[in-house]
A and B are shown apart, each in its own frame.
Chain A
Amino acid sequence: MEYHIENMEGCRVVYLKGDLDLYTTVKFRDIIGEEGEHSDSNFIIDLKDVGYIDSCGIGALLFFFSAVKKKNYDFYLTCLGESVFEVLKLNQLIKFFPVSESVSSALLEMSAKGRT
């Protein structure tokens, strides 16, 4: 799994690429743990280039979502592919995570809520 992070309109946007699975989750948790702990900002996790996610990956997203919400910042998942969407739909977490179709639409939604 690869990643890069950009700052956009006061928001940290994490672009992930590859599988978010039982093997890569540890690395992902390290990245986001560091980010969640030290960054005072809203977060967007862009999943456009994530083709495979499993329960460990979803657990890591939940972990990060919870950390961001505790600090009262906003959080969005964007660009869900078909299989990521399907897994989130099956375990009903699609109702739980704030989801937007693109990074720009998530930024607009945050802006509309006065969060950027």
Chain B
Amino acid sequence: MNRFIDIDSNHILFKRDNMYYKEFSSDYSLIRFYTHLIMQKAPLEIKEELILEQQISELIKNAVQHGNGCDVMKKVKVWFSFSDSNVRLIVEDEGDGFADIEKWNKFQEERIKAFSSCDFSKMNEYAVFKTERSGKHDGGNALFAAVQYWDAGFVFNSKRNSVAVGKNILTRGESCFIPA
């Protein structure tokens, strides 16, 4: 499984065919409401997928907060699709893009080593990723879970303001729709 962030505007996950579309203002207080609106389109068995709602909420929060700086005049655009076997989303903001992808990937590489060692002081050093743009209440840990959860890919476009993700739901022994 790829546990890093890719950059590829031509990635198959950016294909928007047959996807639902919604756009939202960057109102921080409505992030979980927006997530509920998206989840309404999910089949029942997908709605029950553990932490799917939480992971979608994290993507929207990143776009609202880090991408658009919670400027309610700026839009977050979301394309999404659900089937019995997979979930796909594309979340796009109007910001300058996630400049620190390479820095994050490097941090993640060291973090994987630190957590493999089970050495507390090393793990402590790599528990969270923060930058100058991080807010006081930022957890600094969302992307570590996201790159694991979205097992069909976690990919930014070249402008780095749009992320496409995919999740394989393998509850009935189906094969993956996109190789991880």
- Are A23's CB and B32's CB within 8 A? yes
Segment touching B, from A9-17, A35-43, A88-96, A108-116: A88-96
Please count how many residues in chain A sit with their CB below 8 Å of the partner chain's CB atoms.
Answer: 27
How far does the alpha carbon of A56 sit from the alpha carbon of B28 in the complex, in Å? Answer: 13
B9 in the interface (beta carbon within 8 A):
no
B149 in the interface (beta carbon within 8 A):
yes
How far does the alpha carbon of A52 sit from the alpha carbon of B54 in the complex, in Å? Answer: 8
- Residue in A82, A83, A86, A92 whose CB lies within 8 Å of B115: A92
Interface of chain B: mostly helix, strand, loop or mixed: helix
How far does the alpha carbon of A54 sit from the alpha carbon of B141 in the complex, in Å? Answer: 9
Residue of B nearest to A66 (CB): B124
Residue of A nearest to B134 (CB): A59
- Are B128's CB and A59's CB within 8 A? yes
Given that A25-B137, A55-B139, A58-B139 are known contacts, is A90 also in contact with B144, CB under 8 Å in the complex? yes
A87 in the interface (beta carbon within 8 A):
yes
- Are A59's CB and B138's CB within 8 A? yes
How far does the alpha carbon of A92 sit from the alpha carbon of B149 in the complex, in Å? Answer: 12
How far does the alpha carbon of A91 sit from the alpha carbon of B57 in the complex, in Å? Answer: 16
B residues with a Cβ closer than 8 A to A are: 28-29, 31-32, 50-51, 53-54, 57-58, 61, 111, 115, 118, 120, 123-124, 127-128, 137-142, 144-145, 148-149
The 3 closest A-B pairs by CB, nearest first: A59-B139, A55-B139, A55-B142
